[in-house]
Amino acid sequence: MQLDGQVAVIGVGSVGSMALWRTALRSRDVVGFEAAHSASDRTAVGGDTRLFRRAYQEGAKYSGLLAESERLFLELNDSGGTAFIPCGGLSIGARGGSYMSALGVSIRETAAEHSVLEHDELGARYPQHQLLPNDFGIFDPHAGAIRTDQAVLTAVELAKQAGAVVKSHTRIRSVVSHRDHVEISSESERWHFASVVIAGGAWSSDLLPERVRLGVYAARLSLSWFLARDAADYLPERFPIFIRESGGVHIYGAPTVDGATVKVSGMTPHTRIEDPDQLVRDLSDVENMAAIDAVSRFLPGLHPAPVRADSYPELYSPDDAPLVGWVDEMPGVYVATGFSGRGFKIAPGVGETIAREILGGAPSPELAFLSPQRALSP
Ligand SMILES: Cc1cc2nc3c(=O)[nH]c(=O)nc-3n(C[C@H](O)[C@H](O)[C@H](O)COP(=O)(O)OP(=O)(O)OC[C@H]3O[C@@H](n4cnc5c(N)ncnc54)[C@H](O)[C@@H]3O)c2cc1C
């Protein structure tokens, strides 16, 4: 069998772009297949920014991927553009509350660099946040905002410079494992590769083996932007990314990247969808009212009326941990999907893991918890 290349990456989005970049540095025969174009705002790349942090509530098991990702985001910055805005990050909440308690445990386990800001100091340093009496803060100096489109497009550029080819507007319809290679097909063409990475985000289900497909589901997440009364107060040097659980409300946000509006979201949970291509972009009245209420209560420097709102698709796993690794049912096929609303911050580290493992490296034992071979009952 004449192969068309060593590695195919299906989906050149948040994670696929990083896999393509890191793999292309080690192998010249790498091809990315992208149904739309990289950094399309109809994918999980959309919405300007994602939060990155090292002091991470989800715990120590992610700390290696986060450290690697921070290094690689900074490497993307060195290649031009600003993929990563290192503005630091604030967690805000009540002492004894579930979020701040879990974060404290994780910080102790990982020895993540941080400083504690008691109520008055937090209020003095970051007056943009209207605090409740029990609120205090934890500042993570390694946190920041990832400019998603810049990160993806820079990674694709670096992959191409290293010899990778990207076939845009090419949706892969089937993936079939043979004894010594993997065959992939679009509507009209067929290719053969030694190994294939499935990184199709919310659209991955159709390509996954049944056992995995039955455990995952596509979902819709929404974002809202608010006009700042004085945008200078919300620039990255004055307004770190933040996550807050106060008074029964969960919100997070990022500094302004357009010099006018501030992204504030997280007030309503993700909702399950059947088809990511039919995703409803508009926010419902309930979603808009939750956003308006949270901004009125907690961020008085913003006009409490969303001037922009949109929704994006994501694939969730049953335990909210991503699926990263080989799938036994499909020899030669490596899955990197199901990032469950948290994947951008680890995308470069996952890309590096994929490159290492797909080109012959042994699976990392510390990432066994991400294996698609784990129990995935819905
Ligand atoms: C609103 C929102 C807020 C979030 N906030 C954060 C945050 O603050 N921090 C954080 O770390 N994470 C966050 N996340 C999660 C993070 O954005 C996602 O986990 C991550 O972007 C998922 O990347 P992906 O590569 O799996 O999917 P995508 O980036 O969607 O990429 C999938 C790509 O595959 C392509 N594709 C699909 N099927 C095929 C096919 N058959 N053939 C060819 N191409 C195909 C698609 O066109 C797309 O380009 C958030 C997600 C959302 C939606």
Q: How far is the CA of 117 from the centre of ligand 1 (A)?
A: 33
Look up the CATH number of the domain holding residue 278.
Answer: 3.30.9.10
192 CB under 6 A from ligand 1?
no
Which of 172, 203, 271, 311 has the most ligand 1 atoms within 8 A of CB, as the residue to mutate?
203
65 is a domain residue? no
Q: Are residues 225 and 112 in the same domain?
A: yes
Res 85: pLDDT: 98
Look up the CATH number of the domain holding residue 361.
Answer: 3.50.50.60
| Domain final residue, candidates 300, 316, 332 | 316
Query: In the predicted model, is pLDDT for residue 378 greater than 80?
Result: no
Query: In the predicted model, is pLDDT for residue 377 greater than 80?
Result: no
Res 218: pLDDT: 98
Q: How confident is the model at residue 148 (pLDDT cuts 50, 70, 90)?
A: very high
Whether 240 and 249 have beta carbons less than 8 Å apart is answered as no
Q: Are residues 238 and 284 in the same domain?
A: yes
Ligand 1, atom 18: nearest CA belongs to which residue?
Answer: 343
Q: Are residues 100 and 130 in the same domain?
A: yes
Res 352: pLDDT: 98
63 is a domain residue? no
Phi/psi at 369 (nearest 5 deg)?
Answer: -65, -15
Q: How confident is the model at residue 28 (pLDDT cuts 50, 70, 90)?
A: confident
220 CB under 6 A from ligand 1?
no
Q: Are residues 342 and 283 in the same domain?
A: no
What mean pLDDT is predicted for residues 209-226?
97
Query: In the predicted model, is pLDDT for residue 376 greater than 90?
Result: no
Q: Are residues 252 and 311 in the same domain?
A: yes
21 is a domain residue? yes
Q: How confident is the model at residue 344 (pLDDT cuts 50, 70, 90)?
A: very high
Res 254: pLDDT: 98
Res 59: pLDDT: 84
What mean pLDDT is predicted for residues 330-349?
98
Q: How confident is the model at residue 1 (pLDDT cuts 50, 70, 90)?
A: confident
Whether 372 and 357 have beta carbons less than 8 Å apart is answered as no
314 CB under 6 A from ligand 1?
yes
15 CB under 6 A from ligand 1?
yes
Q: Are residues 202 and 226 in the same domain?
A: no
pLDDT digits (tens, 9 = 90+) for 113-133: 999 999 999 999 999 999 999
pLDDT digits (tens, 9 = 90+) for 38-66: 999 999 999 999 999 999 988 899 999 99
Query: In the predicted model, is pLDDT for residue 284 greater than 90?
Result: yes
Query: In the predicted model, is pLDDT for residue 265 greater than 90?
Result: yes
297 CB under 6 A from ligand 1?
no
pLDDT digits (tens, 9 = 90+) for 286-326: 999 999 999 999 999 999 999 999 999 999 999 999 999 99
Q: Are residues 114 and 235 in the same domain?
A: yes
| Domain final residue, candidates 316, 342, 362 | 316
350 is a domain residue? yes
Which of 42, 217, 263, 342 has the most ligand 1 atoms within 8 A of CB, as the residue to mutate?
342
What mean pLDDT is predicted for residues 208-224?
97
Q: Are residues 127 and 228 in the same domain?
A: yes
Q: How far is the CA of 202 from the centre of ligand 1 (A)?
A: 7
31 CB under 6 A from ligand 1?
no
The number of domains in the chain is: 2
Res 58: pLDDT: 87
| Domain final residue, candidates 278, 301, 316 | 316
What's the pTM?
Answer: 0.98
Percentage of the chain modeled with pLDDT above 90: 97
Res 375: pLDDT: 86
Please give the structure tokens belonging to residue 171: 């949706």
pLDDT digits (tens, 9 = 90+) for 62-78: 999 999 999 999 999 99
Which of 22, 33, 34 has the most ligand 1 atoms within 8 A of CB, as the residue to mutate?
34
Q: Are residues 153 and 252 in the same domain?
A: no
364 CB under 6 A from ligand 1?
no
Q: Are residues 306 and 362 in the same domain?
A: no
370 CB under 6 A from ligand 1?
no
Res 181: pLDDT: 97
Average pLDDT, the chain: 97
Query: In the predicted model, is pLDDT for residue 278 greater than 90?
Result: yes
Q: Are residues 29 and 170 in the same domain?
A: yes
Q: Are residues 211 and 341 in the same domain?
A: yes
- Which domain range does residue 177 map to? 5-45+149-215+318-370
Smallest Cα–Cα separation from 357: which of 2, 131, 20, 23? 23
96 is a domain residue? yes
Q: How confident is the model at residue 358 (pLDDT cuts 50, 70, 90)?
A: very high
